[in-house]
Homo-oligomer: A and B are copies of this chain.
């Protein structure tokens, strides 16, 4: 199979670095262009990203020697674009690419909540991709923008999906303990987080609430009808490098059997598994039976595709029959960002949308 050219927008940040390392040697994709801000354009990728490279693997030599280009459709040179741009830049730049005919798989928050933009987790709501038709027509674009959720939302929603389908949901209470890589670089100053918890992440809670309802919403006639349950979120930063841990309490519509719920989580599969997408983990959800798992350091790279499975543990009932509690963990820059955008791109290739 001939590989598909892909351009990476925002290639130097923490998510950009993950994109580079996941797309290098990808079975379907070839990195054609690395785009970043004007400041970096014209320099070698190794020079630009080297100083802030945070991964324990080296920058692939071939990529290190590529010249970084400006984030304009002219320089992109590929129809498929994966974007890890900051939200404000994405808002300006991504439409230029979509207008120029590119399919943009975006990890930015800029367009996630726009009515005609799909916010997709391939295992959860692939049907929301139908919004692309609406989007193209309404905006007169040749290409399109498809988004993936916030790094905190994604682990939560993957774990909620099978529960929602099986028992219904009335309320979701989630408290997060989020890794510092989620704040990018320079991100959280070490002086502020060593021996500390910061009980606030700007705009995060609103994103979790709104995105969760949109993703689990029903694809109606050209529009997504948000799910009706209530979501309350409390987001905290903790001294962890990678991996967001979330304590979840649920009130369900029908009575829950804990063992059955675990089975439902364990057996959950979606389109990526059916289509055998290259970045699809065999098990989207790994259920742990130990008392004290999942833990970010031990479980963030879980799964047949490292970092793409979500781990759920401590599944237990609350004080009433229609309640459930558990802890969910997902790798915030893989399943929660770079891997999410890549999996969306793979799904669109499989669907011949690229």
Contact = CB atoms under 8 A, between A and B. Distances in A.
A71 B265 CA distance: 42
Interface in A308-354: 313-314, 318-320, 323, 325, 327
A37 interface: no
Q: How many copies does the complex hold?
A: 4
A195 B230 CA distance: 32
A232 B177 contact: no
B327 A295 contact: no
B238 A177 contact: yes
A298 interface: yes
Of A209, A240, A314, the most chain B CB neighbours within 10 A belong to A240
Nearest to A238: B238
Contacts of A54: 191-192, 298
Of A192, A199, A300, A313, the most chain B CB neighbours within 10 A belong to A199
Of A54, A238, A320, the most chain B CB neighbours within 10 A belong to A238
A181 interface: yes
Interface string A231-258: 1101010111100010101000000000
A251 B202 CA distance: 25
A230 B319 contact: yes
Contacts of A189: 180, 185-190
Interface residues of A, number: 62
A14 interface: yes
B56 A197 contact: no
Contacts of A314: 199-200, 234
Contact of A290 (B50, B175, B293, B325): B50
Given A197-B238, A199-B293, A239-B240, 14 more contacts: A54-B192, A177-B238, A180-B190, A180-B194, A183-B191, A189-B190, A190-B194, A199-B294, A199-B313, A200-B291, A230-B318, A230-B320, A232-B319, A236-B245
